Amino acid sequence: MHPSVKASVPVIRRLPKYYRYLCALKDSGVTSISSRELAAQMGTTASQVRQDFNCIGDVNGRQGIGYSVDNLLTILEGLLFGDGQRLSTILIGCGRLGKAVSSFIANNNNGFTLIAAFDVEPALIGQSISGIPIRHIDDLESFCAQHNPHVAVLCVPRSGAQQISGRLVELGIKGFWNFSHYDLSVPYPDAVVENVHLGDSLMSLGYRLRNQD
């Protein structure tokens, strides 16, 4: 990232979308693209694209040619995936949602690797989820002490999300991908939380359909 500029959260949230579009462009044989063309695909403005790129590194657009797709992808891959070392991840909650999320992590090149899964349901303990054996939640402390995971994915009821998050922070977890239908706020400065509400997108879709001109 550019040494004099710290990207805001809105910019950070746009980076994966840039990455997806640029990967598709590269696969189509496109080698360069202008800010105007990229803005049209992103649903934003050319000015916004240029401002975003000023925040992320040495992005040099050439007059009349545009930005190098390969250069943009290299910069974005460095920001989104680091040095290529995947972040070790544990899953809390192995019901239907947990199974779907674990499959996504296991089958996508997203910079994370699932190393353990935990639940409280006796019938699930010892079964496998995405090739990972399900452990009882009582094993959480001993596992984290031995393996030092970075990230926890929460697929638990909202009533248990706040309680388990504090426990996980004490065990060294730095990142939370939270599907608990609860806006988790972890009161620790080094912890990062992404709250995911699947219903929000569906309600937004419903609103747009019902309020079309």
**Options 1.10.3720.10, 1.10.10.10, 3.30.70.980, 1.10.357.10; CATH of 9-80:** 1.10.10.10
Q: Write down the pLDDT at residue 153.
A: 97
CA dist list (Å): 122 to 125, 135, 187: 5, 10, 31
Rounded distance between C-alpha atoms, residue 203 and residue 103, angstroms: 25
User: Which position has the token pair 């959480």?
Assistant: 140
Q: Are 108 and 165 in contact (CB under 8 A)?
A: no
Q: What is the pLDDT of residues 143-162, one digit of tens each?
A: 999 999 999 999 998 888 88
What is the residue extent of each domain of the chain? 9-80, 87-200
Q: Write down the pLDDT at residue 2.
A: 44
Spell 126-148 as b/e; 16+ CB within 10 A means b. Answer: eeebbebebbebeebeebbeeee
Task: Map residue 178 onto helix, strand or coil.
Answer: strand
Across the range 1-24, mean pLDDT stands at 80
Lowest mean pLDDT among 5-9, 56-60, 103-107: 5-9
Higher pLDDT, 99 or 201: 99
Q: Count, in order, helices (H) and strands (E) of the chain.
A: 8, 9
Predicted confidence band at 183 (pLDDT cuts at 50, 70, 90)? Answer: confident
CA angle 179, 132, 84 (to 5 degrees): 75
- Could you tell me what percent of the chain has a pLDDT over 90? 60
Paired strand residues for 141: none
Q: What is the pLDDT of residues 194-213, one digit of tens each?
A: 999 888 888 988 988 999 86
The CATH number of 87-200 is: 3.40.50.720
Q: What is the mean pLDDT of the chain?
A: 89
